[in-house]
Structure 1
Amino acid sequence: METKRVLVVGGTGYLGQHLLLSLSQIKDNAPYDLAFTYHSNSNLLQPLLDAIPHSLAFHVDLVTGDGFQSIASKFGLPHVVVNCAALSVPRVCEKDPDAAISINVPNSLVNWLSSFEERDTLLIHLSTDQVYEGVKSFYKEEDEAVPVNVYGKSKVAAEQFISKSWPNFAILRSSIIFGPQTISPVPKSLPIQWIDGVLSKKEQVEFFHDEFRCPVYVKDVVTIIMSLINKWILDRVSRVQMAETVAHVRGYSTSLIKQVSASSVYRGVSSPADISMDISKLIQTLNISPTSFRDGVILTLESA
């Protein structure tokens, strides 16, 4: 069965490193080829490559798109792209709105994906809770996005651009992400470590009592992203992938499987090309965990 390619854009960042490590640790169960991009954090590169030796690193400029063609030639079209890259410090975005827009709206990334004939890559994009105005509690996805700063505005622009420009996407609006330090320590201040550090000095420190957030543990964000990846890769399969799975389980040669386009064969009836379904509401409502296609094949053949 074809190894699935996952590209993490902004892989040397805090979330990117945690995601790459988790993806690399489940390689035996879900065969991923991993690649990631970096730009300004080149000093973080080597420790990450040492920890994940089978991954590929690419220097990419998200503003110009320089570097994406190198990914195309050495890694190929990814099945999933997770965009963790951003200019995410609100104060910095406020000082340089043009930079915030040019980096946070993934024009060059989507343009690169659009250059491929196939358009079935899943784009998972990290957004922010700062798209909301902040005048009530417990915002929901359907609530209007009314950002009050440049950072939030750039992220709303990114969401709108992706929804109009790419057919397969998931946008995750996270709040403050906290957790342990990364393999290659990131230069930015981590929230829990910072609070611990200032309180350990035994001096009084000011904290806002009227600013509320929903901090999220980094491993939970990783779990959500990995669930989306598995859902897209493992449970949406072509006829070829179905055959490849059976061949892999049984030990048959995949050379027996000849790939042809459905449009090249007339079967006497029109057949829809892609009717993969989103069953997240069913899973949530019934609290069930559907059997993956591969596991179902194994159970089916074992029963025979």
Structure 2
Amino acid sequence: MKKIIVTGSNGLLGQSLLALLLEEKDKYEVVGFSRGKNRSGREDFRYVSMDLTNKNVLLRELNKENPDVIINTAAMTQVDQCEDKKEECDTLNVDLVKNLIKYSEEHKAHIIHLSTDFIFDGKKGCYKETDEPNPISYYGLSKLKAERELVNSSIDYTILRTILVFGKVYDMSRSNIVLWVKESLEKGKSINVVNDQYRMPTYVTTLAEACKAAIDKGKYGIYNVSSTELLTVYDIALQIAEKFNLNKELISPISSKELNQKAQRPEKTGFDLSKTKKDLGIELRKFKEDLQNFKQIIT
């Protein structure tokens, strides 16, 4: 039996991982580390409430638990906020990872860490794991710094890079692209959506499966995880409207320049997924298919 700690277990991916891993209680003992009360709606695992950025508390609790694997889902992901609060961003996105590495170097734990397409500048698109990063936002830079800490360490690590994660769990503190579009249109609200940024959204269930596959197959290194088709964010919104039978006329295309966000976004990301398909062996689908699976769960 493997003991697995999920940091950020209250988040979208954190709660999805709990649901997946706790299906096999004979294989995994799962412990959640997160801030505040346990928001997963489950009581069949150990939950430790803590400030993950407090190094002493984190190391003390890790030493108590002695995990085989740490899945680090905790991060500051609001891109514009990271631009404004660089120190806070680094504390959670970089320093936490350094502290997890410190523990793992002494105790031989496997770290699975989540990263992002925003480490790239978006000039090329369909990035391979080996392509040269060049972040254009502070968020992207912070995630790249964390990756480099892992790559330069002596531990067993798996970095899963992902894009626009969507899904729904028991108690959510934040929305995501699919819920935002769906809920806005259900209320009859008009929305502006960029038509000059290209992405491959990721269903949170797929991402959780990738984490589990990395554990079960003992796969280390860097992997890309997303859906399989490159779409503009505007096209993504149209597909959401279509799938949930909502009014597409409420969606207006807008350029990134017009949106005028604080942090720059990469124009075209998307991933080459061949290494992930080969090594992790999980099923990766078109966004439309992932949306259909998601719809079946929430309706």
The TM-score, its normalising length taken from structure 2, stands at 0.69
2:259 counterpart residue number: none
3-state secondary structure, aligned to 2:71:
strand
Contact 1:6–1:78 under 8 Å retained in 2: yes
Letter of the structure 1 residue corresponding to residue 156 of structure 2: N
2:206 counterpart residue number: 220
Query: Does residue 1:70 correspond to 2:61, yes or no?
Result: yes
2:278 counterpart residue number: 284
**Larger fraction in strand:** 2
1:207 to partner: Cα distance = 0.8
Q: 1:51 to 1:134 in 2, by over 3 A?
A: same
Q: Distance in 1 between matches of 2:91 and 2:62?
A: 21
2:184 counterpart residue number: 198
1:192 to partner: Cα distance = 0.9
1:103 to partner: Cα distance = 1.1
2:126 counterpart residue number: 138
Query: Does residue 1:83 correspond to 2:72, yes or no?
Result: yes
Query: Does residue 1:54 correspond to 2:45, yes or no?
Result: yes
Letter of the structure 2 residue corresponding to residue 57 of structure 1: V
Query: Does residue 1:110 correspond to 2:101, yes or no?
Result: yes
1:65 to partner: Cα distance = 4.1
Contact 2:104–2:110 under 8 Å retained in 1: no
Contact 1:7–1:34 under 8 Å retained in 2: yes
Contact 2:4–2:68 under 8 Å retained in 1: yes
2:11 counterpart residue number: 13
CA RMSD of aligned residues (A): 2.4
3-state secondary structure, aligned to 1:143:
coil
1:147 counterpart residue number: 135
Q: How does 1:154-193 map to 2 (within 5 A)?
A: 154-179=142-167, 181-183=168-170, 185-193=171-179
Letter of the structure 2 residue corresponding to residue 56 of structure 1: Y
Q: Distance in 2 between matches of 1:191 and 1:283?
A: 25
1:23 to partner: Cα distance = 0.2
1:62 to partner: Cα distance = 2.2
Q: Distance in 1 between matches of 2:189 and 2:44?
A: 44
Q: Distance in 2 between matches of 1:23 and 1:36?
A: 12
Letter of the structure 2 residue corresponding to residue 189 of structure 1: S
Letter of the structure 2 residue corresponding to residue 33 of structure 1: E
Contact 1:132–1:146 under 8 Å retained in 2: yes
Deviations 1:37-58 (A, max 9, x none): 112xx14x1x53x524233324
1:282 to partner: Cα distance = 12
Q: Distance in 2 between matches of 1:221 and 1:232?
A: 16
Q: Distance in 1 between matches of 2:189 and 2:122?
A: 31
Query: Does residue 1:33 correspond to 2:29, yes or no?
Result: yes
Equivalenced residue count is 225
Query: Does residue 1:229 correspond to 2:215, yes or no?
Result: yes
Q: 1:63 to 1:165 in 2, by over 3 A?
A: farther
> Larger radius of gyration, structure 1 or 2?
1
Q: Distance in 2 between matches of 1:135 and 1:281?
A: 22
Q: Distance in 2 between matches of 1:168 and 1:136?
A: 30
Contact 1:62–1:109 under 8 Å retained in 2: no
Greater mean alpha carbon deviation, residues 90-99 or residues 60-69: 60-69
Q: Distance in 1 between matches of 2:175 and 2:29?
A: 31
Letter of the structure 1 residue corresponding to residue 158 of structure 2: A
Contact 2:10–2:34 under 8 Å retained in 1: yes
3-state secondary structure, aligned to 2:55:
coil
Q: Matched residues, percent identical?
A: 28
3-state secondary structure, aligned to 1:165:
coil
Q: Distance in 2 between matches of 1:33 and 1:175?
A: 28
The TM-score, its normalising length taken from structure 1, stands at 0.68
